[in-house]
Structure 1
Amino acid sequence: MVAGIVVKHAWLLMLSVIVTVLLSAVACSPRQTSSDIAPNADSLENVAYHKTTADTGNIVPTDKLYEQIADIVEGQPEKLIANPDSFYNIIPNTPETTYQQELYVYILSSMGYLLREHADIMQSIKYYEKAFQATKIYTLPDTDIDNDIVMPLANLYIRIDDNKKAISLLEQSIRTVKTSQNLSSFTNNLANAYIYDNHPSKAKSVILAILRTNPPLKPLLYNTLTSIYWSEDKIDSCKIYNRKALEEFEKITLTGDTILWYTNALSMAGRLSSSKRPLETSLKILEETFPVHKLREKAKLQLELATVYYSNSEPEKALSKYKQVLIYFSATDKYQLDYTYTQALAKIGDCYALLHRLDSAIAYYQWAIENDYRTQQLIVSKENQLKNNIWHKNLIESAITLCEQKLEIEPNDNMTLETMLWCIELGKARMLITEINRSEKWSSQDGDLRNAIQSIRTSYQELGEVDNYERRVQLQQNIKKSLLEFQLSEKYFEKISSPITQKEFIKTLKNENYDCYSYFIHQDSTLTVLGVVNQQIVYKKVSDKDLLTQIEKFKKTYFGDTPNSYNLSPASYKKEANKITEILLPAIARTKPNIFLSLDGLFHGLPFDALWNSGFLVEKHNFSYLNSFLLFDILSNNKVSATSVSILHRSEYQPPLPNLHFVKEEVKNIANKFLSQIIDPEEQHDSVLSEKFSSQHIIHIAAHAILEEDKEPCIYLKNRISTNQLAYYEMNTPLVFLSACNTGTGKPLPSEGTESIHRVFLSRGVPSVISTYWFANDEMMLSLTASFYEQLSATGYPMEALGKAKRTFLATASDREGNPWYWANINYAGVNNEIGLKKSSNLFFYCSLLVVLLLIPALFLYTRSKR
């Protein structure tokens, strides 16, 4: 161990055996405190522990126990690599002295380092984050936080493509580095983060600026500059700086990390020349220098070497090399949260496809998609999630192409159809699912984290109200800093769980109570439609590349600013709507009343219930619009019994916003019939909103929704509440009804639907959300809203309730009112959870009436007695 930190004693060898026994004892037990393990440590009482005051009975670890655990980390790393969480259970997490605190942080950061060296990225991040949080609690002047914790943690974020988080951490830390060596190192890592975040100009700027100072680590900086020019496809510049890097390496003795940097330069030379020799030399150097470590670095070199064979049309040799990439990762876990691993799996699929082994090719592509889904769940940055969605969709394109080749040979291959549907759904709503998984844990966190959440909400609220440029910039900087602190504190990596299996997924969709359709729009504008109808898979490939243009025109024509297009020719509408039905909903005649749709691209915002098939589809069917069928497993479907409605409303506004005259009537209609709490604008403070959202009441919001090109969508209650602010409320409500215009529309997001107000409620785990696609007509909104709550009270299911409300409306509607522009804008998204709605009680009214009736004769007798 590092000199001055741990004192060696001969008898510590005996303690090693004792602690090892403790490790075995707690291998499957939950996290323990020092008092939990004390009864099993009587033999350590005079060595590793001493007793505290008799009134508490606690047993506190001494320096020697921390020293002993640190020695195991150093000398017997295998004891923690296989099961780091069990090893963590024996570490006392309440160090008292500065010395114990230094050892505690050293142990955690060493665990992070060892796990990283063995390619266990998620666990490595988890323990580096624990170490980083500990440094914020304790003052540790002798701990090199920058190099030992911040630097590797930022590198790990880059590895999982959470580059925004890495950039925030590095930008914050680089301001306080104390040496030119550290400045060079941090600048280099920041540049790499910029490269992976698709900002090569920023990367180039910081590297060139520091190179002008003749800094240390010059060969490393040249390496990064080479990568920048490679990302910009400037091959000549790339060759120049690769040569400079190699020349610099010739001037120094290669040890430790410089060996890694040198092999990176060599591998780039191989990439530039499409030559195997530099790559083979680099791999040999790493194998000889780090026989049991640097596994991921070796895997990346092996991947590049295999790609050279693949590019040279040698699929058999490439296949062998790609499979060797997998060997560098754990042999016991099928899934490895690493993009190098995912890339190798996909390339193995490509090799099998070239060798005409379709079953193997499909299997490896499915494996790559499943692995990538798990890996992306590590990312919390919105921008990086969306970027990865685009990359992931290319994987799915390739997988579907292979599946469709198989279906040409075996058209009724049900397993291939199920695999295709599974892969498509894994590619949708990955950011939404991450947001749900993260936020459902926030309520169980400590007070500091909850306070941080409230602080972020408050900052977003002020940002929405302030027009002063300087103040807005300051608030944005404060929010960025707060978000980083929050992300580092939320312990997300301790809570990630695996998704359901394909078998479980298909079983969920083959349900007796509903049918499903899923859509995948290809890059060439063709369309794949997959569904589960009467527990059987249906499949349709739509090769008409003009279809999407026609549907986009259909939406704009009939569901734009006015209802006039339908009124001019209902027959034309029905003809077009029937054609779209036949294409998008094959076997619609055999479907059940409830239909769930997993949408893609421009299908978001298309009112399927207004399509036509011998009548509007809503006349026979209820529709739910989902981002992915995986939400069946993610969103809560627990029954909520006898709940009430919390009504958040505002009807009067300052120009240019018009007053909402229908809102008062809408509030009155709901409150008169159902148990309600009316929250007037003057009551709509953050604490009240927080209380209502976290309750199990239905939330009904009647107000303006505002969509502006350069800002987040918002609801305008007492104050503007942006989607960013809404994202930091705890929500336990079973249903949100957004009675406002355009709450279901917004900016398109790759594989995530639209950046809409309704989406943010789904992202907080709300299982049912009702919103609008376009301008809401006041009269129709009033009628449909009132009818919806009546039907919900009767049926208990919001999906059926909205469908019945529309059918009830159409049953008595005039020809003009039957125009779908009036009623089809209201839509349902969710899993159709059961909700019991309390009717308004008239008990108070009857009691008051009884009192009055009893008082009348008494008053009469009293009056007579006075005469």
Structure 2
Amino acid sequence: MSFFLKVVTKAFLFSSLIFFTHNSAAQFGIGDALKNKAEKLVKDKLKEKTEEKRESYDTLSFNYAIAFLDKTESFENQQKGEGLIKTANFLLRDDEPQTDLEVARDIYDFGRLNYNIGNQFLAETNLKLAKLKYEQISATNEPNYLKTIGLLGLLYSDMGRFTKAEEFTQTALDGWDELQGKNSIGYLAELNNHAVLQINLGNYLQAEKIIKQLGDNLNAEKENEMLPYAIYLNNEAILNQYMGRADEALGLLEDCTEIAKESLTEKNSTYLQFLTNKAILEQENGNLKTAENTFQEVLDLQESRLKLNAKNDPDYAHMKSNIAALYVEKGEYEKAEEALQLALEIYQDKFGEEHLTTSGTQADLGNLYRFLGENEKAEPLLQSALYTRERKLSKTHPKVVKSQEDLALWFWANGQIESATSYFKRVMGTSQEFIKDYFPALSEAEKTKYWEQLKPRFFRFYNFALENYNEYPELLEDFMRYRLSTKGVLLSSSTALRNAIFSQNDEELTRLYEQWIDQKQQLANAYALSEEEIKEQNLNVDSLDNAANQTEKDLSVKSDAFSTAYEDRNTDYKAILSQLKSGQVMIEIVQYPIYDKQLTSDNAYAYLILKKGAEKPSVIINKEGNLLENRYYSYYNNVINQKMKDDYSYAQYWKSMENEIGDASRIYISPDGIYNQVNMNTLQQPNGKYLIQDHDIRYVGHPNDILYERLAQSAGQQTAFLMGDPNFNSQNIAQLPGTKKEIEDISKYLSPSMTMQKYLNSEANESNLKQVKSPKYLHLASHGYFLEDKQANHNLFGVQLQYIRQNPLLRSGLLLAGAGKEESSGSSQSFNQSDNGFFSAYEAINLNLNNTEMVVLSACETGKGDIKAGEGVYGLQRAFIVAGAESLVMSLWKVDDTATQKLMSGFYKENVQGKAIPDAFRSAQLAMLSEYQHPYYWGAFIMFSR
């Protein structure tokens, strides 16, 4: 502050003070000397009190960065009356000389004042002067010096100058550590700011580590840490949202707002910003009515807080820009446009054109105009948003990539395909890098959520490429490359991690893996306990879940298995073409939502057909995906179970590919969507023959799998693990005597060349199954079960409803010995019980099948599960593949006991006689077809290989 400004300000204040004092003195006839003495006494007392208060505020008051879903601002934890006290203390001083330390503190206070009112230029100038002054007087161990450094970090973060922001934030962090230690409020405040900075930079994994450290050290019970704790919860919530955990994020925000209520008035701007975040997350979780009510509450409070100036405040703009997204989702586009225009005007006036906050609203409004077909209005807004983001952020920042995609979609809508292609290439390339960089350090649950956020980008590109590849052939190559690199990406990450652990002689990895398996087993047991039993045994299921997730993440960090596997899978389709032999065809099936200005709920299927001699895939598109998945599948399922003739399904699921396939002898199918549930072998052609009679159809998890096809039986462990005919101990569960004969027949065929591990009746239990160690063959003959997501409205076999809904692997499994006992209902489970007779896919995923050539699930509906586009079936199929099985035989519908026994016996007999597993399986089915004409008897089972 200049001396002139200081004098003028003081003169203004004291003209009022002296006027009051002078008039009062004159009224009582007090002389000037006495009046001056009285004035001095009053001023000295005021100075003493305000100085005391000021020192208190210096100790407690810090700036905390707050993360938002679309912008980041800072909140000053300013104590009640702090601004008035500091101003009074500053102005009440006489012009006696100040110490250098007092001068430095005054300059810092003035910089902080300007920061709080949004005057970034004056804030930076004065904070830099304060920094220099403290350094000149060697006072760098003063708390206010570290506050100066930290506030510069926040200022640069707000300005989008993230390199300088990181430099100053780290310096402040180190300074507080040295001065007061890692448990001091100063250190924790800077740790919070560092976490938000990492969120802004898109370094989510680093931010997560920092936030975990912050949460471990903050104490919500301490009065001076309640508000920082609320801010921490808010920031953790936003990070969870960015990483795809919308439900967890909402829970954290609800806790945040409850704590903040105790520290802030409901009209406080920070409390309103917390509420805004909560409303956004309510919307993300599908609670539209609740979200609208929360938004309206915020707007009403904001208007009453600032009265006439409410609609010129950036906080008001923030709230309007966020409610606009709700209006769009409700189809109220005029309201959305009005809200975004108002927000943009405020931001432009407050921050200028080239500010990240302004760019966010420009992008939102531009995308709204693009959606409404008003392309001329959309382009300048989208271009401006990208320009600002590219200047302020790194090239690979998620917001930069999002702006590039926005423009790609705009150019596509405007018919400028070459420009759209250029932008899409950048977007898709960076997105692949996201997968490679982020996935290794996430648990499978977190990978799943993150992929759900990223996957729509790939779907939009699929629509673009498939619409324009005829005119621009390189788009088809891009489409195939991105598809091959991401199909089954979640499955590949899980199997890669497991393979790495078993193949590396690493004691630390092995120890962590065993710890993880133990934690998951504890979780599986805990899921079957009632709420009362959980309380009795003093269990915290959420803590167990978090511990298992953390161990899995530690495993991933210590192994580069996924990154290596991801690179290996990123294979050019031409390698697959070169591997195909004469008469062989590969069909890659792609399910994707149709794009019409946005992704819709209508699905399409693309069939990419690769065959020997072709230079590129043939593409067939079927836009009746919803019919395939609903009406047509219901018909197929009905005629199978009713054992009726099917004159319809061939035309729906196969005919469009007929000409391209021709008379191919072998057809590899890499299924997606509903094609995981329809056995192509069972489709009857117009000539009366089934497809299995004319084609050798083989299901693979990924087109690349044929590059590693097993040509001969391995010379590995020659052990067969056979389990069947469990004793259910219940009149409500039918015994399966046919499975006993099935096991005995298989044992007879295999025993001359293999070691048998055979379990029947009461020995066909979970405990024995969980001891399995990589047999060559694993054969399980029993009842299977599967509960669809929409049917999950009650506990299943003792597993609590909330866990069933959140994990599809808990909704499918096998019934084993003891499943009929009353104890298995969950009414008398103990935490250490692991043999309740219900063997879920969640438990199957932990089996040791790393060198297992084949698993046969000879039970009903073992191929059922939740179908996820590009990821296959989440159920027993996925569990056994992740556990290590190379091939899996499973059923798509309820099977006939006798027919199944004959099929399985014939299968193993053919295999023992020298046929490879896929050939032996097909021969057994053809033999059954000659005895049982209808596919119900021979077509329930399919073989799936990886």
TM band (smaller chain): 0.5 to 0.7
**Residue 359 (structure 2) pairs with residue 307 (structure 1):** no
* Equivalent residue in structure 1 for 2:858, among 715, 739, 757: 739
* Equivalent residue in structure 2 for 1:599, among 672, 677, 691: 672
Task: State the 1:699 CA deviation.
Answer: 3.0
Change (3 A) 1:280 1:724: farther
**Residue 795 (structure 2) pairs with residue 716 (structure 1):** no
**Residue 632 (structure 2) pairs with residue 556 (structure 1):** no
Task: State the 1:482 CA deviation.
Answer: 3.0
Change (3 A) 1:608 1:764: same
* Equivalent residue in structure 2 for 1:645, among 715, 720, 727: 720
Change (3 A) 1:730 1:419: same
Change (3 A) 1:449 1:828: closer
Change (3 A) 1:386 1:817: farther
Partner of 2:135: none
Task: State the 1:160 CA deviation.
Answer: 2.9
Instruction: Name structure 1 gaps, 5 residues minimum.
Output: 7-63, 208-223, 227-240, 567-571, 832-867
Amino acid aligned to 1:197: N
Secondary structure of the structure 2 residue equivalent to 1:504? coil
Alignment TM-score, normalising by the size of structure 2: 0.60
Change (3 A) 1:519 1:276: same
Conservation of the 8 A alpha-carbon contact between 1:81 and 1:115: no
Task: State the 1:821 CA deviation.
Answer: 2.2
- Bigger drift between 658-667 and 319-328 goes to 319-328
Task: State the 1:742 CA deviation.
Answer: 0.5
**Residue 576 (structure 2) pairs with residue 509 (structure 1):** yes
Task: State the 1:703 CA deviation.
Answer: 1.8
* Equivalent residue in structure 1 for 2:732, among 634, 649, 656: 656
**Residue 287 (structure 2) pairs with residue 199 (structure 1):** yes
Conservation of the 8 A alpha-carbon contact between 1:581 and 1:612: no
- Give identity over the alignment, percent: 13
Conservation of the 8 A alpha-carbon contact between 1:505 and 1:630: no
Partner of 2:780: 701
**Residue 199 (structure 2) pairs with residue 121 (structure 1):** no
Distance in 2 separating the partners of 1:786 and 1:356: 60
Amino acid aligned to 2:894: F
Partner of 1:533: 611
Change (3 A) 1:544 1:400: same
1:772-812 residue CA offsets vs partner (Å, 9 max, x unmatched): 1112233332333344445556779xxx51343322452x5
Change (3 A) 1:267 1:152: closer
Q: How does 1:581-596 map to 2 (within 5 A)?
A: 581-589=654-662, 591=664, 593=666, 595-596=668-669
Conservation of the 8 A alpha-carbon contact between 1:128 and 1:149: yes
Q: How does 1:424-463 map to 2 (within 5 A)?
A: 429=488, 432=491, 451=515, 454-461=518-525, 463=527
Distance in 2 separating the partners of 1:282 and 1:462: 51
Change (3 A) 1:356 1:173: closer
Partner of 2:589: 519
Amino acid aligned to 1:354: A
Partner of 2:344: 279
Conservation of the 8 A alpha-carbon contact between 1:645 and 1:699: yes
Partner of 2:899: 780
Partner of 1:406: 468
Partner of 1:806: 922
Change (3 A) 1:652 1:4: same
Change (3 A) 1:247 1:308: farther
Task: State the 1:607 CA deviation.
Answer: 0.9
Task: State the 1:320 CA deviation.
Answer: 2.0
Task: State the 1:737 CA deviation.
Answer: 2.0
Conservation of the 8 A alpha-carbon contact between 1:645 and 1:676: yes
Conservation of the 8 A alpha-carbon contact between 1:518 and 1:530: yes
Alignment: residue pair count: 704
Change (3 A) 1:300 1:617: same
Amino acid aligned to 2:387: Q
Task: State the 1:741 CA deviation.
Answer: 0.8
Task: State the 1:156 CA deviation.
Answer: 0.8
Amino acid aligned to 1:346: E
1:563-599 residue CA offsets vs partner (Å, 9 max, x unmatched): x324xxxxx65x8647853324553236462513232
Task: State the 1:375 CA deviation.
Answer: 6.1
Conservation of the 8 A alpha-carbon contact between 1:618 and 1:807: no
Distance in 2 separating the partners of 1:97 and 1:651: 68
Distance in 2 separating the partners of 1:641 and 1:782: 27
- Bigger drift between 418-427 and 180-189 goes to 180-189
* Equivalent residue in structure 2 for 1:360, among 381, 398, 419: 419
Task: State the 1:720 CA deviation.
Answer: 0.6
Partner of 1:863: none
- Bigger drift between 159-168 and 497-506 goes to 497-506
**Residue 545 (structure 2) pairs with residue 483 (structure 1):** yes
1:419-471 residue CA offsets vs partner (Å, 9 max, x unmatched): 3444556776565556657777899668688556534434434644x6x6855
Task: State the 1:726 CA deviation.
Answer: 3.7
Change (3 A) 1:403 1:448: closer
Conservation of the 8 A alpha-carbon contact between 2:195 and 2:208: yes
Distance in 2 separating the partners of 1:3 and 1:415: 63
Task: State the 1:193 CA deviation.
Answer: 2.9
Task: State the 1:740 CA deviation.
Answer: 0.8
Task: State the 1:769 CA deviation.
Answer: 2.2
Alignment TM-score, normalising by the size of structure 1: 0.65
Instruction: Name structure 2 gaps, 5 residues minimum.
Output: 1-57, 63-140, 325-334, 503-507, 595-601, 797-810, 818-836
Distance in 2 separating the partners of 1:441 and 1:149: 36
- Bigger drift between 627-636 and 506-515 goes to 627-636
Conservation of the 8 A alpha-carbon contact between 1:648 and 1:701: yes
Distance in 2 separating the partners of 1:528 and 1:783: 37
Task: State the 1:661 CA deviation.
Answer: 0.8
Conservation of the 8 A alpha-carbon contact between 2:722 and 2:759: yes
Distance in 1 separating the partners of 2:585 and 2:218: 53
Conservation of the 8 A alpha-carbon contact between 2:189 and 2:228: no
